[in-house]
């Protein structure tokens, strides 16, 4: 499974904002949409940054609530690591683990196509693990016909 497949099932919607928005506006967007990060776009719709709830908490923790009126451009991460549609779940997970973040915008030819979060990847891993354990249980479970064959063989051996 790759980023394109994930976006096909979860959809391509990404909540975005411009760099002049205040941290308070960003906090409101995060709350309204129940999400953990917002992609910041420039005039040409190209990604210029990413801001997550972690950046927000850090800013408030360091400077106090007055920081909420300041522009997000001062607090966002400007070097954004993006994914390609062909990137596999394992590759996305490894990127997120290496860089210690939980979100990756998916971009092709400079166009934002969607966003994959660590939650999406964990969901896929859990579904895979459940499928594998189900298949394993089915494989090792005694099949009724085999149990019957074995029982009749034992009966024959015992002369019953
Ligand atoms: P997160 O784990 O996504 O809440 O983000 C943790 C930190 O990494 C924050 O400072 C974010 O701004 C930053 N961050 C999140 N996603 C990315 C990304 N794809 N590329 C670069 N930085 C990111």
> CB–CB of 38/29 below 8 Å?
yes
pLDDT for the residue 47: 97
Residue 113 and residue 36 in one domain: yes
By residue range, what is the domain housing residue 57? 3-117
Answer yes or no: is pLDDT of 141 > 90.
Answer: no
At residue 150, does pLDDT exceed 90?
no
Q: Above 90 in pLDDT, residue 34? A: yes
CA distances (Å), origin 6, targets 28, 75, 132, 139: 27, 29, 19, 29
Whether residues 54 and 89 share a domain: the answer is yes
Q: Which of 52, 76, 81, 105 to mutate to test the pocket of ligand 1 (most atoms within 8 A of CB)?
A: 52
Largest CA distance in the chain: 90
pLDDT band at 160 (very low <50, low <70, confident <90, very high): low
Identify which of 58, 101, 107 to mutate to test ligand 1's pocket (most ligand atoms within 8 A of the CB): 101
Going from the C-alpha of 2 to that of each of 8, 14, 125, 154, the distances in angstroms are 10, 18, 13, 51
Q: What is the mean pLDDT of residues 110-131?
A: 90
Is residue 73 located within the same domain as residue 143? no
Overall number of domains in the chain: 2
Q: Is the pLDDT of residue 60 over 80?
A: yes
Do 109 and 128 lie in one domain? The reply is: no
Is the pLDDT reported for residue 143 higher than 80?
no
Residues sharing a CB contact under 8 Å with residue 95, sequence separation 6 or more, in sequence order:
81, 83, 87, 104
* pTM reported for the whole predicted model: 0.84
């Amino acid at each position: 499974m790759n980023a394109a497949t994930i976006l096909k099932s979860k959809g391509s919607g990404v909540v975005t904002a411009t760099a002049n928005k205040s941290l308070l506006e960003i906090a409101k967007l995060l709350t309204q949409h129940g999400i953990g990060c917002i992609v910041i776009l420039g005039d040409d719709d190209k990604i210029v940054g990413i801001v997550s709830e972690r950046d927000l908490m850090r800013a408030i923790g360091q400077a106090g609530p007055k920081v909420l009126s300041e522009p997000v451009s001062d607090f966002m991460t400007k070097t954004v690591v993006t994914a390609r549609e062909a990137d596999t779940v394992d590759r996305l997970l490894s990127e997120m683990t290496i860089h210690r973040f939980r979100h990756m915008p998916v971009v092709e030819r400079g166009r934002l196509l969607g966003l994959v979060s660590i939650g999406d990847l964990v969901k896929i891993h859990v579904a895979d693990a459940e499928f594998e354990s189900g298949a394993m249980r089915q494989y090792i479970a005694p099949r009724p016909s085999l149990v019957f064959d074995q029982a009749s063989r034992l009966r024959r051996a015992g002369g019953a």
